[in-house]
Structure 1
């Protein structure tokens, strides 16, 4: 029991699987994950820009310095996941899907959601463009890249088939929570991505926010159901808009004017 007046220290890092560590997101930052492979050490996501010191301190608790990280893998382009890269990218290679890389290198603040987090990030480069089906062999663990657009266009998950681990970013979280359809996202793409994840043999779910889960298949299925419900509700809303007094007449008129 905490003593009155005692300061409660939040846990910063925990080993959740052999040589796989969860670095807890502080304040509004996403979680980051450290994987110490036999051949390479990687960091999945990197926190908000003002959370770098906390991540460095967490790494130090397990004997890892920033220069020990060979590769920083980004699950997507939002700043709460990618904001720490200007620091870590000075010492490590940085990899992301090409659609995420494009937005990050152009500093597309509308999509990166800088304003939502009242934050900004220094410009940086992406060294490696990750494509669907790429495999990153760390020794002991191999991460398979799965392009999972929907939450945003550049979202990817990292799947480790030998141990049935899924690092899902904001695509799906424990109890089937989904990250929502944000800028550059699409609900139909989201459902397709989730159905692809459901076809995998996933046991351990390591998301960008909230709790980790050992009921990954059930969580993914719940996420699909939530998105399908959202799609049905969106269709109803679309019909209301389409049947309104003005509907999309102004759009069609604009197109006709362009063709004159």
Structure 2
């Protein structure tokens, strides 16, 4: 399967979209109006169940989005707030939502990289009431969800499988509109690719991502994402082999031709993540001036 992103998402911000009743579970999506080069048209929040409802990803601090969630819950009770990961476009809205509803929060844990160590994109205020390890199960009225620890984009990233339905809430690990940014030190390319392999072995029929429209035929798409990352790694080794030692900044134009200038810093971070993985694999080395080169293979 070739990698084809879904660049269209007609859902207006603040409107609760009915996603059907897979395995009898009502699902709804509400998009926050926080568009940007990394958020596409905005962050998706998902309502799971009916009557007593769980919400996945409250989004950023945004009064309009907070109000839209409460309107969608009219006559229902929010009992759980699930967080896929602690980037600032996903978890900060939990505090106001918890204050309004009394719902408990659930997540893998607080953001793992301090600001001084490169974790400046994280929501360092969020700490879940209940921590979810890999394989943890949550049950509600008529539904059962399993948490899958999928680090790489963010060290504490979780996907959530709605058991018996073929639906996986894929967060920012697999999105329909774009590949994910993997930015060290909190992001890790080896972890990211390993988690992609894990998802590619599943038999889900639909991914509901953190940004963008629902993703049908997700397993083929996930395999294509993995092939895309492997091709990026192969291309990186080829460029280094042909042009010799180079800094990350010098490598970006070779591998991201025609890239939006706003995305170049993110591209540099993803390249760095690839290089760090290759360094661990003993395929490349870095010198004292920050220039990367292919390591000579000894027989």
Q: TM-score, normalised by structure 1?
A: 0.76
1:70-108 deviations in Å (ceiling 9; x for gaps):
11111111010012012123322111113xx1449x777
- The match for 2:57 among 34, 37, 45 is 45
Q: How has the CA–CA distance of structure 1 residues 208 and 108 changed in structure 2, closer, same or farther, with 3 Å as cutoff?
A: farther
What is the rounded CA distance, in whole Å, between the counterparts of 2:116 and 2:139 in structure 1? 31
User: Is the 1:25–1:209 Cα contact (8 Å) retained in structure 2?
Assistant: no
Q: Which residue of 1 aligns with 2:151?
A: 149
Please show how residues 21-100 of structure 1 align to structure 2 within 5 Å.
21-28=28-35, 29-36=42-49, 40-49=52-61, 51-63=62-74, 68-90=77-99, 91-98=102-109
User: Is the 2:14–2:64 Cα contact (8 Å) retained in structure 1?
Assistant: no
1:28-71 deviations in Å (ceiling 9; x for gaps):
34111011257x4211001111x243233244135256xx2111
Root-mean-square deviation over aligned CA pairs: 3.0
Give the length in aligned residue pairs.
Answer: 228
User: Is the 1:37–1:141 Cα contact (8 Å) retained in structure 2?
Assistant: no
Ranges in structure 2 where 5+ consecutive residues have no aligned partner: 1-11, 36-41, 248-284, 290-299
The runs of 4+ residues in structure 1 deviating greater than 3 Å are 106-110, 121-125, 233-245, 247-251
User: Is the 1:134–1:144 Cα contact (8 Å) retained in structure 2?
Assistant: yes
1:214-242 deviations in Å (ceiling 9; x for gaps):
22122212211222222323445666898
User: Is the 1:107–1:123 Cα contact (8 Å) retained in structure 2?
Assistant: no
Q: Which has the higher contact order (CA 8 A, sep 6+)?
A: 2
SS of corresponding position for 1:196: helix
User: Is the 1:187–1:231 Cα contact (8 Å) retained in structure 2?
Assistant: no
User: Is the 1:37–1:138 Cα contact (8 Å) retained in structure 2?
Assistant: no
Ranges in structure 1 where 5+ consecutive residues have no aligned partner: 1-8, 115-120, 252-260
Q: Which residue of 2 aligns with 1:16?
A: 19
SS of corresponding position for 1:205: strand
